[in-house]
Amino acid sequence: MKQIITRKGEINALAAALGVCRKTVGEALMFKTDTDLARRIRRAAIERGGKETEYTN
């Protein structure tokens, strides 16, 4: 499964910058949602230094 790892505090910063709640950002970064908004959140996270990774449970 994919996820985007960000620095500490970045979820709050992304939520504030995009006008959404932390839960929305977290779900987008964990690829639990695939909407236009989720793709915008992921793009913004990567632009701000986030790294996309693969992981297994």
pLDDT at 7: 96
Query: What residue type is 25 in one-letter code?
Result: V
pLDDT at 55: 83
User: How far is it, in rounded angstroms, from Cα 52 to Cα 5?
Assistant: 6
| Structural domain containing residue 14 | 2-54
DSSP 8-state secondary structure symbol assigned to residue 48: T
Count of alpha carbons within 13 angstroms of residue 2, beta-carbon side: 11
pLDDT digits (tens, 9 = 90+) for 13-56: 999 999 999 999 999 999 999 999 999 999 999 999 999 999 88
pLDDT at 54: 94
Question: How many Å is the maximal CA-CA distance in the chain?
Answer: 31
Number of domains in the chain: 1
CATH number of the domain at 16, please.
1.10.260
More confident site: 57 or 13: 13
Count of alpha carbons within 13 angstroms of residue 22, beta-carbon side: 6
